[in-house]
Amino acid sequence: MAQKQKVTAVVCSQKEIAPDIYDMWLETELAESARAGAFIALYPKDKSTLLPRPISICEIDREKHRLRIVYRIAGKGTKEFSAYKKGDTVEILGVLGNGFPTEKAEGRKVFLMGGGIGVPPLLETARVLDGMGIQADIIVGYRDSKLFLKEDLEQYGKVFIATEDGSVGTKGNVMDAISENDLKADIIFACGPMPMLRAIKKYAEESGTEAFISLEEHMACGVGACLGCVCKTKQVDHHSHVHNARICTDGPVFDAREVDI
């Protein structure tokens, strides 16, 4: 794993792609060491917001030294980021987190599952799998018909949609979409809200499917300083001797069997 570093990135472009959902490309040398399922932390210029904001990597363009992030406005920090224009600079720390173990997908049937702001990291993961000759089934859940990143995902696999209001695809959640379309897989890579991840963990256990889940929604600082993202694990941590792991430094991706959520 590459040493994490703090660097200055330049905004290449930014646009709003759904209500309060923003799509930003950043030029940074961190693109060299970025990987699917990992994240970066952005520092707001407003010094009253002390900690950086962790945001997952949506897409990597190594040739142009660029990273794409897609994020939701959730507070002062992300509100500030949403006003950035082309040419603006931002301090970022990265690359953080372990990413999805895509090498485990070799020769296997794969589900990529995401809900809400857990959808963006699936894009780079789908692109990596496509490069390995794997066309994943991509099952994504949204609140309504604002299906951000749907067309991007469709380049790399078959996309199944679930919406809470039933406006597109299956009415309900990603598990309802799996059931309705009678889908099966050998391995799952997932990112999304905790109720979704709990349902996936249960499904994986009952069906004997290997699953790797990203718990990134619980992070605060992204760098292990605030201890706001601790999760319970089956194994005892060899440093603290307790059944805990910090999602930002030990994850955010965990084998679903190893975490108690």
User: How far from 123 is each of 107, 120, 163, 189, 191, CA to CA, in Å?
Assistant: 20, 6, 19, 12, 11
CATH topology of domain 5-96: Elongation Factor Tu (Ef-tu); domain 3 (2.40.30)
Q: What is the mean pLDDT of residues 196-225?
A: 83
| Per-residue pLDDT at 2 | 56
Boundaries of CATH 3.40.50.80 in the chain?
Answer: 102-260
* Percent of all residues in the chain with a pLDDT value above 70, rounded to a whole number: 85
| Nearest CA among 145, 108, 147, 154 for reference residue 127 | 154
**At a CB cut-off of 8 Å and minimum separation 6, what does 80 contact?**
44, 45, 46, 49
CA atoms of 138 and 152, how far apart (whole Å): 11
Given a cut of 70, whether residue 233 has pLDDT beyond it is no
> Is the separation of the CB atoms in 198 and 24 below 8 Å?
no
Q: What is the mean pLDDT of residues 155-179?
A: 97
CATH class of 102-260: alpha beta
| Per-residue pLDDT at 247 | 57
Q: What pTM did the predictor assign?
A: 0.90
Helices (H) and strands (E) in the chain, counts: 6, 17
pLDDT tens digits for 77-134? 999 999 999 999 999 999 999 999 999 999 999 999 999 999 999 999 999 999 999 9
Given a cut of 70, whether residue 172 has pLDDT beyond it is yes
Element containing residue 174 per DSSP (H, E): helix 174-180
> Is the separation of the CB atoms in 90 and 26 below 8 Å?
yes
Boundaries of CATH 2.40.30.10 in the chain?
Answer: 5-96
CA atoms of 96 and 188, how far apart (whole Å): 22
